[in-house]
Amino acid sequence: MSIAITTQFICFIVLSLVVIIGALGVVLLESIVYSAFLLGGVFMSVAGLYLLLNASFVAAAQVLVYVGAVNVLIIFAIMLVNKKEDLKPINDIKSRRVISTSICLTLLSLLIRVDLTNVWSLSSPQSSIGDESTIRIGEHLFSDYLLPFEVASVLLLMAMIGAIVLARRDVMSKDISTGLPVDQELIEKSSEPLLTNKN
């Protein structure tokens, strides 16, 4: 990378702060819409971190797939299911929070300890291929990673068909089990919901 080292440090610190604070906002904010937009910011900063690591192709793929597809999909889902509802209070929420937070902090300290104490066998930076990484990725995808590449395309096809089957409304005019006409709204108000508590 041809940027001065001081600039790289400043970029890294800013991007890391945006990633960490944005991720905290995603899990902590009350409004789910703010969380979704902050998630887009986190994805963009992660793409910036990839650029600092000399990986322009993966950064572009990150922006296209995560910000362009996954985040938009999440925002659509929020718009479809965003109903104001008062959640039932959980009686042992305090102890649950304490236990989960302590588990996460323990895991974080463990991971940071491993990161800092392990001796990584770093390769010499002179052999870095830099801008040729896109060419190298293409060679990998069509030689030694050809089978995973094709399997990934089959996986995407299966996910697409599965998502359509799961999310579509009923195309039949009558319900099979009850014989009643099917409500074509997003929420089936007239019929008894299929999965209700039996208590």
Partner 1 sequence: MNLESIPLQAFLIVSSALFCIGIWGLLNSRNAVRVLMSIELMLNAVNINLMAFSSYVDNNLIQGQVFTIFVITVAAAEAAVGLAILLSLYRNRVTVDMESFNLLKW
58: tokens are: 């993966």
Using CB under 8 A as the binding rule, whether residue 166 contacts partner 1 is answered as yes
- Is 44 a binder of partner 1 (CB under 8 A)? no
Pick one of 107, 174, 178, 190: the residue that binds partner 1 (CB under 8 A).
107
- Comparing CB distances to partner 1, the nearer of 177 and 196 is 196
3 state SS of 174? strand
Q: Which of 91, 95, 121, 177 touches partner 1 by CB under 8 A?
A: 121
Separation between Cα atoms, residue 182 and residue 175, nearest integer Å: 6
- Min dist. Cβ of residue 176 to partner 1 (A): 15
| Contact pick of 2, 91, 123, 173 for partner 1 (by CB under 8 A) | 123
Query: Does 36 engage in binding with partner 1 (CB under 8 A)?
Result: yes
Burial class (CB in 10 A: 0-12, 13-18, 19+), 167: exposed
Any idea what DSSP says for residue 107? Answer: H
In angstroms, the CA 178 to CA 172 distance is 13
- Decide: is 184 part of the binding site for partner 1 (CB under 8 A): no
Q: How far is the CB of 178 from partner 1 (least distance, A)?
A: 14
73 vs 174, which CB is nearer to partner 1?
73
Question: Which residues, 6 or more positions from 165, have their beta carbon under 8 angstroms from its beta carbon?
Answer: none
Q: Are 137 and 57 in contact (CB under 8 A)?
A: yes
The nearest distance, CB 24 to partner 1, in angstroms, is 6
Of the candidate residues 7, 156, 174, 181, the single one contacting partner 1 (CB under 8 A): 156
Q: Which of 41, 46, 48, 67 binds partner 1 (CB under 8 A)?
A: 46
Q: Does 14 bind partner 1 (CB under 8 A)?
A: no
Judged by CB under 8 A, does residue 49 bind partner 1? yes
Q: Is residue 94 at the binding interface for partner 1, with CB under 8 A as the rule?
A: no
SS3 content of the chain, % helix, strand, coil (to 5): 65, 0, 30
CA dihedral 19, 41, 134, 53 (to 10 degrees): -20
| 129 vs 174 by CB, closer to partner 1 | 129
62 forms part of the interface with partner 1 (CB under 8 A): yes
The dihedral over CA atoms of 109, 110, 114, 115, expressed in degrees to the nearest 10, equals -40
